[in-house]
Amino acid sequence: MLTLSGVTKRYPTGDRALTDIELTLPKGQVMALIGPSGAGKSTLIRCVNRLVEPTSGSIRLDDTELTRLSGSGLRKARRSMGMIFQEYALVDRLTVMENVLSGRLGYVGFWRSFLRRYPEDAVAEAFRLLERVGLPHAIDKRADALSGGQRQRVGIARALLQSPKLLLVDEPTASLDPKTSRQIMRLIRELCAERELATIINIHDVALAQQFADRIVGLRAGQIVFDGRPDELTSDILTTIYGEEDWDTSPEPADEPEREPVSYERRDIAGAMATGVAP
Ligand SMILES: Nc1ncnc2c1ncn2[C@@H]1O[C@H](COP(=O)(O)OP(=O)(O)OP(=O)(O)O)[C@@H](O)[C@H]1O
């Protein structure tokens, strides 16, 4: 479905962000891309949707060579790639429904979108998607009245309204609490299975990646140093990806502070039992 072959990116500054990347992503697979800061994760995702121009190599989505596209060909190809962002990228003053419908901008043309006239089938599908992501009650709310988790659900519905073949997801949980992060990852996973969407998720949280991805690719200094199943990600491999660290130890329990022995009078204890307040 998506095939990267010999992809290299050197920025004009001389930074070599990716070197000779070989990667094939089949339909329906959720792939987590992990690696330290600066490893090249965002650059890889951005090369696929051509927000960044690869210096060399080939990127194919089905039969289309993405690196050769420009103008309308590139716009058409981008419709088949849904993006989900860390900071949600919603328009705050628009409603949830309007934000979701903006996922169709690549299809409806400038004047129709300017006049906010979307085809009926797009509106019906937006309703269905908002129901599916758990926001049917929030359709008319302004985006800035939502919590982070709700905003990310809107971002997911907007990406899916494009009817993409591929989802490119950049740090979807970086601004969310642990429970909401899991809910969002679970939702992305379920939707990918339902729609047979191939997905690349750029993520720092290794535990979340292991729990919700089918496959993990580890990048270090622009090169793939691990490509395997989540259960194959051992401490040694984490060291290869991130560098030396003791991955197995949990934090030492904090020492109890030494306390002066306290003696209570019997009547203090009786009082405490009556009021629930320690003497
Ligand atoms: N626009 C740019 N111009 C020059 N160099 C860049 C640019 N964007 C990224 N780089 C460099 O490319 C390398 C890879 O950066 P990239 O942002 O892709 O890494 P990352 O793994 O996504 O990092 P993070 O996890 O911190 O987001 C780094 O050395 C970075 O400094």
Q: Tell me the DSSP string of 175-234.
A: TS-HHHHHHHHHHHHHHHHHHT-EEEEE-S-HHHHHHH-SEEEEEETTEEEEEE-GGG--
Query: Does ligand 1 come within 6 angstroms of the Cβ of 15?
Result: yes
The residue whose C-alpha atom lies closest to atom 28 belonging to ligand 1 is 38
Where among 107, 138, 163 does a domain terminate?
163
Do 22 and 60 lie in a common domain?
yes
Residue 31 is assigned to a structural domain of this protein: yes
Determine the atom of ligand 1 nearest the C-alpha atom of 202.
Answer: 22
Distance (angstroms) between ligand 1 centre and the Cα of 7 equals 15
pLDDT score, position 87: 81
Residue 9 is assigned to a structural domain of this protein: yes
The mean pLDDT value for 134-151 works out to: 92
pLDDT in tens, 201-212: 999 999 999 999
Taking a C-beta distance cutoff of 8 angstroms, is the pair 37, 220 a contact?
no
pLDDT score, position 222: 97
Which of 27, 25, 34 minimizes the C-alpha distance to 5?
A: 25
Residue 90 is assigned to a structural domain of this protein: no
Which of 181, 194, 226, 234 minimizes the C-alpha distance to 35?
A: 226
* DSSP H helix total and E strand total for the chain: 11, 10
- Residue 199 confidence (pLDDT) above 90: yes
The residue whose C-alpha atom lies closest to atom 7 belonging to ligand 1 is 11
Distance (angstroms) between ligand 1 centre and the Cα of 43 equals 6
Query: Does ligand 1 come within 6 angstroms of the Cβ of 40?
Result: yes
Residue 42 is assigned to a structural domain of this protein: yes
Structure ipTM over 0.90, yes or no: yes
Between 108 and 150, residue with greater pLDDT: 150
Domain count, the chain: 2
Determine the atom of ligand 1 nearest the C-alpha atom of 42.
Answer: 22
What is the CATH classification number for the domain harbouring 228?
3.40.50.300
Do 103 and 150 lie in a common domain?
yes
Distance (angstroms) between ligand 1 centre and the Cα of 268 equals 63
Which range among 29-43, 105-119, 178-192, 243-257 shows the weakest confidence by mean pLDDT?
105-119
Taking a C-beta distance cutoff of 8 angstroms, is the pair 237, 67 a contact?
no
Query: Does ligand 1 come within 6 angstroms of the Cβ of 245?
Result: no
Taking a C-beta distance cutoff of 8 angstroms, is the pair 218, 224 a contact?
yes
Residue 88 is assigned to a structural domain of this protein: no
Residue 276 is assigned to a structural domain of this protein: no
Boundaries of domain holding 180: 1-80+166-249
Distance (angstroms) between ligand 1 centre and the Cα of 221 equals 10
Please give the share of the chain, as a percent, with pLDDT higher than 70.
85
pLDDT in tens, 51-105: 999 999 999 999 999 999 998 899 899 999 999 988 878 888 889 998 999 888 7
| Pocket-testing residue among 7, 11, 53, 223, ligand 1, by greatest number of atoms within 8 A of Cβ | 11
Residue 269 is assigned to a structural domain of this protein: no
Which range among 99-103, 145-149, 204-208, 242-246 shows the weakest confidence by mean pLDDT?
242-246
Where among 133, 163, 193 does a domain terminate?
163
Where among 113, 141, 163 does a domain terminate?
163
